[in-house]
Chains A and B, each alone.
Chain A
Protein backbone atom coordinates (compact mmCIF):
# COMPACT_ATOMS: atom_id res chain seq x y z
CA UNK A 1 0.00 0.00 0.00
CA UNK A 2 2.79 2.43 0.85
CA UNK A 3 4.33 4.21 -2.09
CA UNK A 4 8.08 4.66 -2.16
CA UNK A 5 8.71 8.34 -1.76
CA UNK A 6 12.30 9.40 -2.06
CA UNK A 7 12.86 13.11 -2.33
CA UNK A 8 16.25 14.63 -1.93
CA UNK A 9 15.44 17.29 0.59
CA UNK A 10 18.77 19.11 0.37
CA UNK A 11 18.19 20.30 -3.19
CA UNK A 12 14.58 21.38 -2.88
CA UNK A 13 13.63 24.84 -1.66
CA UNK A 14 12.51 24.93 1.98
CA UNK A 15 8.87 25.72 1.21
CA UNK A 16 8.65 22.78 -1.11
CA UNK A 17 10.45 20.63 1.42
CA UNK A 18 7.92 21.53 4.06
CA UNK A 19 5.13 20.70 1.66
CA UNK A 20 6.65 17.36 0.77
CA UNK A 21 7.20 16.68 4.40
CA UNK A 22 3.59 17.39 5.22
CA UNK A 23 2.51 15.29 2.31
CA UNK A 24 4.64 12.45 3.48
CA UNK A 25 3.34 12.69 6.99
CA UNK A 26 -0.23 12.69 5.69
CA UNK A 27 0.44 9.60 3.63
CA UNK A 28 2.07 7.89 6.60
CA UNK A 29 -0.99 8.76 8.68
CA UNK A 30 -3.32 7.20 6.11
CA UNK A 31 -1.25 4.03 5.95
CA UNK A 32 -0.87 3.79 9.71
CA UNK A 33 -4.58 4.21 10.40
CA UNK A 34 -5.94 2.01 7.63
CA UNK A 35 -3.12 -0.53 7.57
CA UNK A 36 -3.84 -2.59 10.68
CA UNK A 37 -7.57 -2.81 10.00
CA UNK A 38 -7.05 -3.78 6.38
CA UNK A 39 -4.42 -6.34 7.31
CA UNK A 40 -6.86 -7.99 9.70
CA UNK A 41 -9.65 -8.05 7.15
CA UNK A 42 -7.31 -9.35 4.49
CA UNK A 43 -5.95 -12.18 6.64
CA UNK A 44 -9.13 -13.13 8.47
CA UNK A 45 -11.92 -12.29 6.04
CA UNK A 46 -10.88 -12.05 2.41
CA UNK A 47 -8.19 -14.68 2.31
CA UNK A 48 -10.26 -17.38 4.11
CA UNK A 49 -13.27 -16.62 1.92
CA UNK A 50 -11.22 -17.10 -1.22
CA UNK A 51 -9.69 -20.20 0.30
CA UNK A 52 -13.18 -21.62 0.87
CA UNK A 53 -13.81 -21.31 -2.86
CA UNK A 54 -10.47 -22.93 -3.70
CA UNK A 55 -10.90 -25.79 -1.22
CA UNK A 56 -14.33 -26.58 -2.62
CA UNK A 57 -12.69 -27.69 -5.89
CA UNK A 58 -10.23 -30.05 -4.26
CA UNK A 59 -10.17 -33.52 -2.86
CA UNK A 60 -8.71 -33.13 0.62
CA UNK A 61 -7.03 -35.24 3.22
CA UNK A 62 -7.41 -33.85 6.73
CA UNK A 63 -6.95 -30.16 6.14
CA UNK A 64 -4.75 -30.12 3.05
CA UNK A 65 -5.48 -30.28 -0.67
CA UNK A 66 -4.76 -33.49 -2.50
CA UNK A 67 -6.20 -33.31 -5.98
CA UNK A 68 -8.23 -30.93 -8.12
CA UNK A 69 -11.66 -32.45 -8.72
CA UNK A 70 -13.55 -29.60 -10.36
CA UNK A 71 -17.23 -29.47 -9.53
CA UNK A 72 -17.37 -32.95 -8.06
CA UNK A 73 -18.11 -31.78 -4.50
CA UNK A 74 -20.87 -29.52 -5.74
CA UNK A 75 -22.46 -32.33 -7.74
CA UNK A 76 -22.27 -34.66 -4.79
CA UNK A 77 -23.70 -32.05 -2.40
CA UNK A 78 -26.50 -31.10 -4.77
CA UNK A 79 -27.50 -34.71 -5.29
CA UNK A 80 -27.57 -35.36 -1.56
CA UNK A 81 -31.08 -35.52 -0.14
CA UNK A 82 -29.89 -34.52 3.31
CA UNK A 83 -28.41 -31.32 1.91
CA UNK A 84 -31.73 -30.40 0.30
CA UNK A 85 -33.46 -31.17 3.56
CA UNK A 86 -30.99 -28.84 5.34
CA UNK A 87 -31.57 -26.15 2.72
CA UNK A 88 -35.32 -26.45 3.14
CA UNK A 89 -35.08 -26.38 6.94
CA UNK A 90 -32.78 -23.36 6.89
CA UNK A 91 -35.02 -21.41 4.51
CA UNK A 92 -38.13 -22.38 6.46
CA UNK A 93 -36.53 -21.21 9.70
CA UNK A 94 -35.11 -18.00 8.20
CA UNK A 95 -38.34 -17.11 6.42
CA UNK A 96 -40.49 -17.82 9.47
CA UNK A 97 -38.22 -15.86 11.79
CA UNK A 98 -37.90 -12.85 9.49
CA UNK A 99 -41.64 -12.62 8.89
CA UNK A 100 -42.49 -13.24 12.56
CA UNK A 101 -39.94 -10.69 13.75
CA UNK A 102 -41.12 -8.00 11.35
CA UNK A 103 -44.82 -8.60 12.05
CA UNK A 104 -44.54 -8.77 15.84
CA UNK A 105 -41.98 -5.98 16.03
CA UNK A 106 -44.20 -3.74 13.91
CA UNK A 107 -47.34 -4.63 15.87
CA UNK A 108 -45.64 -3.84 19.18
CA UNK A 109 -44.25 -0.58 17.81
CA UNK A 110 -47.67 0.53 16.51
CA UNK A 111 -49.40 -0.38 19.76
CA UNK A 112 -46.98 1.25 22.13
CA UNK A 113 -45.31 4.03 20.22
CA UNK A 114 -47.46 6.75 21.82
CA UNK A 115 -47.52 5.54 25.41
CA UNK A 116 -45.49 7.90 27.55
CA UNK A 117 -45.43 6.59 31.09
CA UNK A 118 -43.33 3.49 31.57
CA UNK A 119 -42.35 3.29 27.94
CA UNK A 120 -38.63 3.14 28.76
CA UNK A 121 -39.25 0.25 31.10
CA UNK A 122 -41.40 -1.49 28.51
CA UNK A 123 -38.86 -1.00 25.74
CA UNK A 124 -36.07 -2.28 27.99
CA UNK A 125 -38.09 -5.35 28.93
CA UNK A 126 -39.07 -6.29 25.39
CA UNK A 127 -35.51 -5.75 24.17
CA UNK A 128 -33.91 -7.80 26.95
CA UNK A 129 -33.97 -11.21 25.20
CA UNK A 130 -31.80 -9.71 22.46
CA UNK A 131 -28.80 -9.27 24.79
CA UNK A 132 -28.93 -12.81 26.20
CA UNK A 133 -25.95 -14.85 24.99
CA UNK A 134 -27.16 -17.15 22.24
CA UNK A 135 -25.98 -20.38 23.87
CA UNK A 136 -27.76 -19.54 27.12
CA UNK A 137 -30.86 -18.63 25.14
CA UNK A 138 -30.78 -22.05 23.51
CA UNK A 139 -30.40 -23.89 26.82
CA UNK A 140 -33.19 -21.83 28.36
CA UNK A 141 -35.59 -22.76 25.56
CA UNK A 142 -34.46 -26.36 25.63
CA UNK A 143 -35.94 -26.46 29.11
CA UNK A 144 -39.03 -24.43 28.18
CA UNK A 145 -39.78 -26.90 25.37
CA UNK A 146 -39.57 -29.91 27.66
CA UNK A 147 -42.60 -31.99 26.68
CA UNK A 148 -43.77 -32.71 30.20
CA UNK A 149 -42.39 -30.06 32.56
CA UNK A 150 -41.66 -27.24 30.12
CA UNK A 151 -43.31 -23.87 30.62
CA UNK A 152 -44.64 -23.73 27.05
CA UNK A 153 -46.72 -26.87 27.33
CA UNK A 154 -47.89 -25.87 30.81
CA UNK A 155 -49.07 -22.55 29.37
CA UNK A 156 -50.76 -24.30 26.44
CA UNK A 157 -52.63 -26.48 28.87
CA UNK A 158 -54.36 -23.42 30.39
CA UNK A 159 -55.96 -22.90 27.01
CA UNK A 160 -56.94 -26.54 26.81
CA UNK A 161 -54.32 -27.37 24.20
CA UNK A 162 -52.72 -30.78 24.38
CA UNK A 163 -48.95 -30.93 24.98
CA UNK A 164 -46.95 -30.42 21.80
CA UNK A 165 -43.84 -32.60 21.29
CA UNK A 166 -41.86 -29.54 20.17
CA UNK A 167 -38.39 -30.98 19.68
CA UNK A 168 -39.41 -34.60 19.29
CA UNK A 169 -41.59 -34.35 16.20
CA UNK A 170 -40.68 -33.68 12.59
CA UNK A 171 -43.52 -31.23 12.16
CA UNK A 172 -42.90 -29.04 15.24
CA UNK A 173 -39.16 -28.77 15.50
CA UNK A 174 -38.66 -25.87 13.06
CA UNK A 175 -41.72 -23.97 14.35
CA UNK A 176 -40.20 -24.37 17.82
CA UNK A 177 -36.93 -22.81 16.59
CA UNK A 178 -38.90 -19.99 14.96
CA UNK A 179 -40.84 -19.32 18.15
CA UNK A 180 -37.74 -18.96 20.30
CA UNK A 181 -36.00 -16.91 17.65
CA UNK A 182 -38.88 -14.44 17.32
CA UNK A 183 -38.96 -14.12 21.11
CA UNK A 184 -35.31 -13.08 21.03
CA UNK A 185 -35.51 -10.72 18.08
CA UNK A 186 -38.83 -8.90 18.16
CA UNK A 187 -37.68 -6.32 20.72
CA UNK A 188 -34.88 -5.37 18.35
CA UNK A 189 -37.38 -4.90 15.52
CA UNK A 190 -39.74 -2.94 17.77
CA UNK A 191 -37.04 -0.43 18.75
CA UNK A 192 -36.16 0.19 15.12
CA UNK A 193 -39.80 0.54 14.06
CA UNK A 194 -40.50 2.95 16.92
CA UNK A 195 -37.59 5.11 15.75
CA UNK A 196 -39.10 5.01 12.27
CA UNK A 197 -42.57 5.94 13.52
CA UNK A 198 -41.21 8.85 15.54
CA UNK A 199 -39.58 10.22 12.39
CA UNK A 200 -42.91 10.37 10.54
CA UNK A 201 -44.20 13.91 10.22
CA UNK A 202 -47.35 14.31 12.36
CA UNK A 203 -48.76 16.86 9.90
CA UNK A 204 -48.88 14.18 7.25
CA UNK A 205 -51.01 11.91 9.43
CA UNK A 206 -53.24 14.77 10.52
CA UNK A 207 -53.78 15.81 6.93
CA UNK A 208 -54.81 12.24 6.17
CA UNK A 209 -57.27 12.26 9.08
CA UNK A 210 -58.75 15.53 7.80
CA UNK A 211 -59.11 13.91 4.40
CA UNK A 212 -61.11 11.15 6.07
CA UNK A 213 -58.55 8.35 5.91
CA UNK A 214 -59.26 5.57 8.42
CA UNK A 215 -56.69 3.81 10.56
CA UNK A 216 -56.05 1.01 8.09
CA UNK A 217 -55.75 3.43 5.19
CA UNK A 218 -53.24 5.54 7.10
CA UNK A 219 -51.29 2.42 8.01
CA UNK A 220 -51.27 1.02 4.50
CA UNK A 221 -50.73 4.18 2.47
CA UNK A 222 -48.63 6.37 4.73
CA UNK A 223 -47.03 4.54 7.65
CA UNK A 224 -45.92 1.31 5.98
CA UNK A 225 -44.38 2.98 2.92
CA UNK A 226 -42.45 5.35 5.19
CA UNK A 227 -41.24 2.44 7.31
CA UNK A 228 -39.79 0.64 4.31
CA UNK A 229 -36.12 1.39 5.09
CA UNK A 230 -36.54 0.09 8.65
CA UNK A 231 -38.37 -3.01 7.45
CA UNK A 232 -35.60 -3.71 4.98
CA UNK A 233 -32.95 -3.25 7.64
CA UNK A 234 -34.68 -5.57 10.12
CA UNK A 235 -35.29 -8.16 7.40
CA UNK A 236 -31.73 -8.15 6.03
CA UNK A 237 -30.01 -8.31 9.44
CA UNK A 238 -32.24 -11.15 10.60
CA UNK A 239 -32.04 -12.98 7.30
CA UNK A 240 -28.24 -13.06 7.31
CA UNK A 241 -28.21 -14.22 10.92
CA UNK A 242 -30.91 -16.87 10.61
CA UNK A 243 -29.50 -18.41 7.45
CA UNK A 244 -26.64 -19.45 9.73
CA UNK A 245 -28.89 -21.62 11.90
CA UNK A 246 -26.61 -23.89 13.89
CA UNK A 247 -26.86 -23.76 17.63
CA UNK A 248 -30.46 -24.93 17.99
CA UNK A 249 -29.97 -28.21 16.12
CA UNK A 250 -26.49 -28.67 17.61
CA UNK A 251 -27.64 -28.32 21.21
CA UNK A 252 -31.24 -29.47 21.17
CA UNK A 253 -31.83 -32.03 18.45
CA UNK A 254 -28.55 -33.07 16.76
CA UNK A 255 -30.40 -32.44 13.51
CA UNK A 256 -33.20 -34.85 14.33
CA UNK A 257 -35.69 -36.32 14.47
CA UNK A 258 -34.61 -38.02 11.23
CA UNK A 259 -32.91 -34.96 9.69
CA UNK A 260 -35.96 -32.73 10.18
CA UNK A 261 -33.84 -30.03 11.85
CA UNK A 262 -30.46 -30.27 10.10
CA UNK A 263 -29.26 -26.91 8.81
CA UNK A 264 -26.63 -25.92 6.28
CA UNK A 265 -24.15 -24.69 8.89
CA UNK A 266 -24.77 -27.86 10.89
CA UNK A 267 -23.74 -29.91 7.88
CA UNK A 268 -20.74 -27.64 7.25
CA UNK A 269 -19.66 -28.28 10.83
CA UNK A 270 -20.26 -32.02 10.61
CA UNK A 271 -18.43 -32.43 7.31
CA UNK A 272 -15.59 -30.11 8.33
CA UNK A 273 -14.95 -31.18 11.90
CA UNK A 274 -16.51 -34.61 12.34
CA UNK A 275 -16.12 -36.43 9.02
CA UNK A 276 -13.21 -34.10 8.13
CA UNK A 277 -14.23 -33.88 4.49
CA UNK A 278 -13.01 -30.33 4.09
CA UNK A 279 -13.60 -30.04 0.35
CA UNK A 280 -17.23 -31.04 0.61
CA UNK A 281 -17.74 -28.83 3.65
CA UNK A 282 -16.28 -25.88 1.72
CA UNK A 283 -18.59 -26.53 -1.21
CA UNK A 284 -21.53 -26.19 1.17
CA UNK A 285 -20.03 -23.03 2.64
CA UNK A 286 -19.79 -21.55 -0.86
CA UNK A 287 -23.40 -22.49 -1.57
CA UNK A 288 -24.44 -20.79 1.69
CA UNK A 289 -22.43 -17.72 0.71
CA UNK A 290 -24.21 -17.54 -2.65
CA UNK A 291 -27.55 -18.09 -0.94
CA UNK A 292 -26.95 -15.20 1.49
CA UNK A 293 -25.84 -12.90 -1.34
CA UNK A 294 -28.73 -13.75 -3.65
CA UNK A 295 -31.45 -13.55 -1.00
CA UNK A 296 -30.11 -10.28 0.41
CA UNK A 297 -29.93 -8.69 -3.04
CA UNK A 298 -33.41 -9.96 -3.92
CA UNK A 299 -34.77 -8.48 -0.72
CA UNK A 300 -33.08 -5.14 -1.38
CA UNK A 301 -34.29 -5.07 -4.95
CA UNK A 302 -37.88 -5.93 -4.07
CA UNK A 303 -37.92 -3.01 -1.65
CA UNK A 304 -36.36 -0.64 -4.14
CA UNK A 305 -38.67 -1.35 -7.09
CA UNK A 306 -41.77 -0.95 -4.99
CA UNK A 307 -40.42 2.35 -3.76
CA UNK A 308 -40.32 3.74 -7.28
CA UNK A 309 -43.98 3.05 -7.93
Chain B
Protein backbone atom coordinates (compact mmCIF):
# COMPACT_ATOMS: atom_id res chain seq x y z
CA UNK B 1 0.00 0.00 0.00
CA UNK B 2 2.91 2.35 0.61
CA UNK B 3 3.99 2.25 -3.02
CA UNK B 4 0.75 3.70 -4.29
CA UNK B 5 1.37 7.47 -3.84
CA UNK B 6 4.93 7.10 -5.05
CA UNK B 7 3.74 5.50 -8.28
CA UNK B 8 1.39 8.38 -8.85
CA UNK B 9 4.21 10.87 -8.47
CA UNK B 10 6.31 8.96 -10.95
CA UNK B 11 3.57 8.74 -13.56
CA UNK B 12 2.83 12.45 -13.23
CA UNK B 13 6.49 13.23 -13.73
CA UNK B 14 6.66 10.81 -16.64
CA UNK B 15 3.72 12.51 -18.27
CA UNK B 16 5.28 15.91 -17.82
CA UNK B 17 8.51 14.60 -19.27
CA UNK B 18 6.70 13.12 -22.22
CA UNK B 19 5.00 16.43 -22.96
CA UNK B 20 8.34 18.16 -22.67
CA UNK B 21 9.89 15.69 -25.07
CA UNK B 22 7.14 16.04 -27.66
CA UNK B 23 7.39 19.80 -27.41
CA UNK B 24 11.15 19.56 -27.81
CA UNK B 25 10.77 17.48 -30.96
CA UNK B 26 8.22 19.91 -32.33
CA UNK B 27 10.44 22.90 -31.70
CA UNK B 28 13.33 21.04 -33.26
CA UNK B 29 11.36 20.31 -36.41
CA UNK B 30 10.23 23.89 -36.70
CA UNK B 31 13.83 25.02 -36.32
CA UNK B 32 14.87 22.46 -38.92
CA UNK B 33 12.38 23.77 -41.45
CA UNK B 34 13.47 27.33 -40.72
CA UNK B 35 17.17 26.50 -41.19
CA UNK B 36 16.47 24.59 -44.40
CA UNK B 37 14.41 27.49 -45.75
CA UNK B 38 17.17 29.99 -45.04
CA UNK B 39 19.80 27.76 -46.62
CA UNK B 40 17.85 26.78 -49.72
CA UNK B 41 16.20 30.17 -50.35
CA UNK B 42 19.17 31.53 -52.36
CA UNK B 43 19.08 28.51 -54.68
CA UNK B 44 15.32 28.88 -55.16
CA UNK B 45 15.73 32.60 -55.76
CA UNK B 46 18.32 31.95 -58.44
CA UNK B 47 16.06 29.55 -60.33
CA UNK B 48 13.05 31.84 -59.90
CA UNK B 49 15.00 34.85 -61.19
CA UNK B 50 16.12 32.96 -64.28
CA UNK B 51 12.49 32.15 -65.16
CA UNK B 52 11.02 35.64 -64.66
CA UNK B 53 10.59 38.29 -67.29
CA UNK B 54 13.06 41.17 -67.15
CA UNK B 55 10.33 43.36 -65.67
CA UNK B 56 9.42 40.63 -63.19
CA UNK B 57 12.99 40.53 -61.86
CA UNK B 58 12.91 44.22 -61.00
CA UNK B 59 9.42 44.23 -59.58
CA UNK B 60 8.80 45.59 -56.11
CA UNK B 61 7.51 44.01 -53.90
CA UNK B 62 9.37 40.99 -55.27
CA UNK B 63 7.66 38.32 -57.30
CA UNK B 64 8.02 35.10 -55.28
CA UNK B 65 6.75 32.83 -58.01
CA UNK B 66 7.70 33.71 -61.60
CA UNK B 67 4.63 34.91 -63.42
CA UNK B 68 4.65 34.49 -66.35
CA UNK B 69 7.34 31.82 -66.61
CA UNK B 70 9.69 32.51 -69.49
CA UNK B 71 12.72 30.75 -70.93
CA UNK B 72 13.76 33.95 -72.69
CA UNK B 73 16.89 34.35 -70.51
CA UNK B 74 18.00 30.81 -71.28
CA UNK B 75 17.68 31.45 -74.99
CA UNK B 76 19.70 34.62 -74.57
CA UNK B 77 22.35 32.78 -72.56
CA UNK B 78 22.72 30.14 -75.27
CA UNK B 79 23.03 32.88 -77.89
CA UNK B 80 25.69 34.80 -75.99
CA UNK B 81 27.94 31.92 -74.97
CA UNK B 82 28.75 28.51 -76.51
CA UNK B 83 27.25 26.84 -73.45
CA UNK B 84 27.15 23.25 -74.80
CA UNK B 85 30.85 23.52 -75.62
CA UNK B 86 31.73 24.95 -72.19
CA UNK B 87 29.67 22.20 -70.60
CA UNK B 88 31.52 19.62 -72.66
CA UNK B 89 34.87 21.13 -71.60
CA UNK B 90 33.94 20.82 -67.94
CA UNK B 91 32.91 17.21 -68.40
CA UNK B 92 36.07 16.26 -70.30
CA UNK B 93 38.24 17.88 -67.65
CA UNK B 94 36.37 16.30 -64.75
CA UNK B 95 36.28 12.82 -66.29
CA UNK B 96 39.97 12.75 -67.15
CA UNK B 97 40.88 14.09 -63.69
CA UNK B 98 38.74 11.41 -62.06
CA UNK B 99 40.41 8.67 -64.12
CA UNK B 100 43.99 9.83 -63.52
CA UNK B 101 43.43 10.51 -59.84
CA UNK B 102 41.72 7.24 -59.03
CA UNK B 103 44.32 5.16 -60.92
CA UNK B 104 47.56 6.83 -59.90
CA UNK B 105 46.53 7.70 -56.35
CA UNK B 106 45.37 4.18 -55.60
CA UNK B 107 48.52 2.61 -57.05
CA UNK B 108 50.76 4.91 -55.01
CA UNK B 109 48.55 4.65 -51.95
CA UNK B 110 48.62 0.87 -52.09
CA UNK B 111 52.39 0.67 -52.20
CA UNK B 112 52.70 3.23 -49.40
CA UNK B 113 50.28 1.20 -47.29
CA UNK B 114 51.57 -2.31 -47.94
CA UNK B 115 55.12 -2.42 -49.26
CA UNK B 116 58.27 -2.02 -47.23
CA UNK B 117 61.11 -0.14 -48.79
CA UNK B 118 63.79 2.31 -47.86
CA UNK B 119 62.56 5.84 -47.18
CA UNK B 120 58.89 5.00 -47.16
CA UNK B 121 57.99 7.10 -44.14
CA UNK B 122 59.99 10.08 -45.37
CA UNK B 123 58.33 9.83 -48.76
CA UNK B 124 54.89 9.71 -47.18
CA UNK B 125 55.65 12.79 -45.09
CA UNK B 126 56.85 14.60 -48.18
CA UNK B 127 53.61 13.77 -49.99
CA UNK B 128 51.58 14.87 -46.96
CA UNK B 129 53.45 18.15 -46.75
CA UNK B 130 52.61 18.96 -50.36
CA UNK B 131 48.94 19.03 -49.35
CA UNK B 132 49.74 22.36 -47.72
CA UNK B 133 50.92 23.91 -51.00
CA UNK B 134 47.90 25.17 -52.90
CA UNK B 135 48.14 25.83 -56.62
CA UNK B 136 47.90 29.58 -56.06
CA UNK B 137 51.35 29.58 -54.48
CA UNK B 138 52.95 27.96 -57.51
CA UNK B 139 50.69 29.65 -60.02
CA UNK B 140 53.33 31.48 -62.04
CA UNK B 141 55.96 28.74 -62.31
CA UNK B 142 53.21 26.30 -63.27
CA UNK B 143 52.09 28.74 -65.93
CA UNK B 144 55.65 29.14 -67.22
CA UNK B 145 56.07 25.36 -67.27
CA UNK B 146 52.79 24.87 -69.13
CA UNK B 147 53.83 27.51 -71.62
CA UNK B 148 57.19 25.83 -72.14
CA UNK B 149 55.46 22.50 -72.73
CA UNK B 150 53.31 24.26 -75.36
CA UNK B 151 50.16 23.41 -73.49
CA UNK B 152 48.56 26.82 -73.01
CA UNK B 153 44.92 26.81 -74.05
CA UNK B 154 44.70 22.99 -74.12
CA UNK B 155 42.93 20.39 -72.03
CA UNK B 156 46.29 18.90 -70.99
CA UNK B 157 47.35 22.29 -69.74
CA UNK B 158 44.27 22.62 -67.57
CA UNK B 159 44.33 19.03 -66.35
CA UNK B 160 47.94 18.10 -65.65
CA UNK B 161 48.62 20.22 -62.53
CA UNK B 162 45.90 18.35 -60.64
CA UNK B 163 46.12 15.00 -62.43
CA UNK B 164 47.55 13.41 -59.28
CA UNK B 165 46.85 14.91 -55.88
CA UNK B 166 48.58 14.29 -52.60
CA UNK B 167 45.19 14.25 -50.95
CA UNK B 168 44.10 11.35 -53.15
CA UNK B 169 47.21 9.35 -52.32
CA UNK B 170 46.65 10.01 -48.62
CA UNK B 171 42.99 9.05 -48.81
CA UNK B 172 43.63 5.76 -50.61
CA UNK B 173 46.53 4.83 -48.36
CA UNK B 174 44.43 5.33 -45.23
CA UNK B 175 41.67 3.20 -46.70
CA UNK B 176 44.02 0.37 -47.72
CA UNK B 177 45.54 0.34 -44.23
CA UNK B 178 42.10 -0.51 -42.89
CA UNK B 179 41.63 -3.50 -45.21
CA UNK B 180 42.47 -7.00 -43.92
CA UNK B 181 45.85 -8.09 -45.23
CA UNK B 182 45.00 -11.79 -45.05
CA UNK B 183 42.84 -11.72 -48.17
CA UNK B 184 45.73 -10.38 -50.22
CA UNK B 185 48.12 -12.99 -48.78
CA UNK B 186 45.65 -15.76 -49.58
CA UNK B 187 45.45 -14.52 -53.18
CA UNK B 188 49.23 -14.52 -53.40
CA UNK B 189 49.42 -18.10 -52.16
CA UNK B 190 46.91 -19.01 -54.86
CA UNK B 191 49.43 -17.69 -57.38
CA UNK B 192 48.05 -14.21 -57.94
CA UNK B 193 50.64 -11.68 -59.12
CA UNK B 194 51.11 -8.30 -57.41
CA UNK B 195 49.16 -6.57 -60.17
CA UNK B 196 46.47 -9.21 -59.88
CA UNK B 197 46.25 -8.58 -56.14
CA UNK B 198 45.73 -4.87 -56.58
CA UNK B 199 43.39 -4.96 -59.57
CA UNK B 200 41.38 -8.10 -58.76
CA UNK B 201 41.33 -8.12 -54.98
CA UNK B 202 42.15 -4.72 -53.44
CA UNK B 203 40.45 -2.27 -55.79
CA UNK B 204 37.15 -4.17 -55.96
CA UNK B 205 37.11 -4.06 -52.17
CA UNK B 206 37.78 -0.32 -52.23
CA UNK B 207 34.74 0.90 -54.12
CA UNK B 208 33.59 3.28 -51.35
CA UNK B 209 36.99 4.96 -51.21
CA UNK B 210 37.23 5.15 -55.00
CA UNK B 211 33.77 6.71 -55.16
CA UNK B 212 34.76 9.21 -52.50
CA UNK B 213 37.89 10.19 -54.38
CA UNK B 214 35.99 10.43 -57.67
CA UNK B 215 33.30 12.73 -56.26
CA UNK B 216 35.87 14.79 -54.40
CA UNK B 217 37.79 15.22 -57.66
CA UNK B 218 34.61 16.14 -59.54
CA UNK B 219 33.68 18.87 -57.07
CA UNK B 220 37.17 20.31 -56.83
CA UNK B 221 37.59 20.34 -60.60
CA UNK B 222 34.41 22.42 -60.83
CA UNK B 223 35.63 24.70 -58.03
CA UNK B 224 38.91 25.41 -59.83
CA UNK B 225 38.83 28.87 -61.24
CA UNK B 226 42.07 30.79 -61.30
CA UNK B 227 44.12 28.10 -63.03
CA UNK B 228 41.74 27.43 -65.93
CA UNK B 229 41.31 31.20 -66.17
CA UNK B 230 44.99 31.97 -66.70
CA UNK B 231 45.84 28.93 -68.79
CA UNK B 232 43.10 29.40 -71.40
CA UNK B 233 42.57 32.36 -73.69
CA UNK B 234 39.84 31.13 -76.02
CA UNK B 235 36.28 31.12 -74.76
CA UNK B 236 35.71 27.72 -76.37
CA UNK B 237 38.46 26.15 -74.25
CA UNK B 238 37.06 27.36 -70.95
CA UNK B 239 35.24 25.21 -68.43
CA UNK B 240 31.66 26.28 -67.76
CA UNK B 241 32.23 28.04 -64.38
CA UNK B 242 35.04 30.16 -65.82
CA UNK B 243 33.16 30.95 -69.03
CA UNK B 244 30.03 32.25 -67.33
CA UNK B 245 32.01 34.39 -64.91
CA UNK B 246 33.96 36.14 -67.63
CA UNK B 247 30.75 36.76 -69.48
CA UNK B 248 29.47 38.75 -66.52
CA UNK B 249 32.49 41.01 -66.68
CA UNK B 250 31.96 41.72 -70.36
CA UNK B 251 28.29 42.47 -70.67
CA UNK B 252 26.20 45.10 -68.98
CA UNK B 253 24.49 43.61 -65.99
CA UNK B 254 21.35 41.81 -66.79
CA UNK B 255 20.55 39.43 -64.02
CA UNK B 256 18.16 37.27 -66.04
CA UNK B 257 20.69 35.67 -68.41
CA UNK B 258 23.35 35.63 -65.68
CA UNK B 259 21.08 33.66 -63.36
CA UNK B 260 20.10 31.39 -66.27
CA UNK B 261 23.78 30.56 -66.80
CA UNK B 262 24.36 30.13 -63.09
CA UNK B 263 21.40 27.77 -62.88
CA UNK B 264 22.72 25.79 -65.86
CA UNK B 265 26.06 25.44 -64.06
CA UNK B 266 24.64 24.49 -60.70
CA UNK B 267 21.76 22.26 -61.72
CA UNK B 268 23.68 19.23 -63.10
CA UNK B 269 25.82 19.08 -59.97
CA UNK B 270 22.86 19.49 -57.67
CA UNK B 271 20.86 16.80 -59.47
CA UNK B 272 23.80 14.40 -59.24
CA UNK B 273 24.16 15.37 -55.60
CA UNK B 274 20.50 14.64 -54.86
CA UNK B 275 20.86 11.18 -56.42
CA UNK B 276 24.14 10.33 -54.70
CA UNK B 277 24.00 12.57 -51.65
CA UNK B 278 25.40 10.22 -49.04
CA UNK B 279 28.32 9.30 -51.31
CA UNK B 280 28.94 12.98 -52.00
CA UNK B 281 28.95 13.85 -48.32
CA UNK B 282 31.25 10.94 -47.55
CA UNK B 283 33.60 11.91 -50.36
CA UNK B 284 33.82 15.58 -49.51
CA UNK B 285 34.32 15.01 -45.80
CA UNK B 286 36.74 12.12 -46.36
CA UNK B 287 39.99 12.58 -44.55
CA UNK B 288 38.19 13.80 -41.45
CA UNK B 289 37.12 10.37 -40.31
CA UNK B 290 40.24 8.56 -41.30
CA UNK B 291 42.74 11.33 -40.75
Residues in A lying within 8 Å of B, measured CB to CB = 25-27, 29-30, 32-34, 36-38, 40-41, 43-49, 51-52, 55, 63, 108, 111-112, 115, 118, 120, 122-136, 138-144, 146, 149, 151, 154, 183, 187-188, 191-192, 195, 230, 233-234, 240, 244, 246-247, 251, 265, 268-269, 272-273, 278, 281-282, 285-286, 288-289, 292-293, 296
Residues in B lying within 8 Å of A, measured CB to CB = 25, 28-29, 31-32, 35-36, 39-43, 45-46, 49, 57-58, 60, 62, 104-105, 107-108, 110-112, 115, 117, 123, 127, 130, 132-134, 136-145, 147, 160-164, 166, 169, 194-195, 198, 219, 222-223, 225-226, 230, 240-242, 244-245, 248-249, 255, 258-259, 261-262, 265-266, 269-270, 273-274, 277-278, 280-281, 284-285, 287-289, 291
Q: Which of B28, B137, B265, B273 has the most CB of A within 10 A?
A: B137
Q: A135-B244, A135-B245, A144-B45 are in contact. Are A37 and B284 (CB under 8 A)?
A: no
A40 to B164 alpha-carbon distance, docked (Å): 6
- Once the chains bind, are B107 and A36 in contact (CB under 8 Å)? yes
Given contacts A240-B132, A292-B132, 7 further A-B contacts (CB under 8 A): A34-B108, A37-B108, A44-B162, A140-B46, A151-B41, A246-B225, A285-B140
Q: A134-B241, A233-B288 are in contact. Are A122 and B161 (CB under 8 A)?
A: no
- Once the chains bind, are A246 and B39 in contact (CB under 8 Å)? no
Q: A123-B281, A133-B241, A135-B225 are in contact. Are A111 and B262 (CB under 8 A)?
A: no
A129 to B248 alpha-carbon distance, docked (Å): 21
> Given the complex, which residues of B lie within 8 Å of A230, measured CB to CB?
288
A40 to B262 alpha-carbon distance, docked (Å): 33
> Given the complex, which residues of B lie within 8 Å of A45, measured CB to CB?
130, 133, 138, 166
Classify the interface of chain B: helix, strand, loop or mixed.
Answer: helix
A18 to B164 alpha-carbon distance, docked (Å): 35
| Interchain residue pairs with CB less than 8 A apart (25) | A27-B117, A34-B108, A44-B142, A49-B138, A63-B143, A122-B36, A126-B39, A128-B273, A129-B39, A131-B284, A134-B222, A135-B225, A136-B266, A139-B259, A143-B49, A143-B255, A143-B259, A144-B45, A183-B39, A195-B285, A233-B287, A233-B291, A240-B132, A285-B139, A286-B137
A195 to B161 alpha-carbon distance, docked (Å): 33
A304 to B35 alpha-carbon distance, docked (Å): 33
Query: In the assembled complex, how far is the CB of residue A291 from the closest CB belonging to chain B, in whole angstroms?
Result: 10
- Once the chains bind, are B145 and A112 in contact (CB under 8 Å)? no
> Given the complex, which residues of B lie within 8 Å of A126, measured CB to CB?
35-36, 39
A269 to B249 alpha-carbon distance, docked (Å): 17
> Given the complex, which residues of A lie within 8 Å of B248, measured CB to CB?
139, 142, 251
- Once the chains bind, are B270 and A128 in contact (CB under 8 Å)? yes
> Given the complex, which residues of A lie within 8 Å of B136, measured CB to CB?
244, 246, 265, 268, 285, 288
